[in-house]
A and B are shown apart, each in its own frame.
Chain A
Amino acid sequence: QQQVKQSPQSLIVQKGGISIINCAYENTAFDYFPWYQQFPGKGPALLIAIRPDVSEKKEGRFTISFNKSAKQFSLHIMDSQPGDSATYFCAAGFTGGGNKLTFGTGTQLKVEL
């Protein structure tokens, strides 16, 4: 059972464009939603995270948008750069869950010159 659904599976964006990755969850007990970035041959690393008490969080060129009623959240990468080319994972966890995260299936982003 995939509790966090992520799309698209892959994405090609031109340099300077906006990359958008979407996730949807089913378990309403989830109350924090991190995004991870993974470069080839490396482990995932936390990029940005949001809690459902806010609808948007921005860190530099990266923005998370959160829609609690729709149970959806998305990552926007503004002014995408070739260095952003990586695999992105959304995830979800819940208070009292012992820091266990349920991950989406990942999006492979390629930013072309």
Chain B
Amino acid sequence: DAGITQSPRYKITETGRQVTLMCHQTWSHSYMFWYRQDLGHGLRLIYYSAAADITDKGEVPDGYVVSRSKTENFPLTLESATRSQTSVYFCASGISANTGELFFGEGSRLTVL
């Protein structure tokens, strides 16, 4: 199906473990983003990418790593998970700049014990 898909939808892990959240889009959108959603903070940008092999930090990048070897994939890795990274993570894509229109996945709920 066309669209943007995230996996896993739910993940429980332990402090110190590495976790990778996957994001795949079928539209060939240039822009891709990772946001985290926390009560009282709204959506905060972790990393974004303007094209394959081009990534940059957002507002809260510490503890996260991204890569984008292919246009359609934008995985987010927590190298050593901490409890403060318990959150709902959303991947999004955008077709062009300056429109304000992003297409979000359904989210990955991560719990770090």
Contacts and interface: CB of A to CB of B under 8 A. Distances in A.
A104 B104 CA distance: 16
B50 interface: yes
Contact of A98 (B44, B48, B92): B48
Contacts, number: 75
Contacts of B96: 99
Given A98-B31, A99-B31, A99-B94, A105 B100 contact: no
A89 to B, nearest CB: 6
A46 B100 contact: yes
B84 interface: no
Given A99-B31, A105-B42, A44 B100 contact: no
- What is the size category of the interface that chain A forms with chain B? 20 to 34
A33 to B, nearest CB: 7
Nearest to B95: A99
Interface in B26-81: 31, 33, 35, 40-45, 48, 50, 58-59
A6 interface: yes
B19 interface: no
Among A43, A49, A94, find the residue whose CB has the most chain B CB atoms closer than 10 A.
A43
A42 interface: yes
Interface string A46-84: 100100000000000000000000000000000000000
Contacts of B99: 32, 49, 99
A45 B35 CA distance: 14
Interface of A: 6, 9, 32-34, 41-46, 49, 89, 91, 93-106
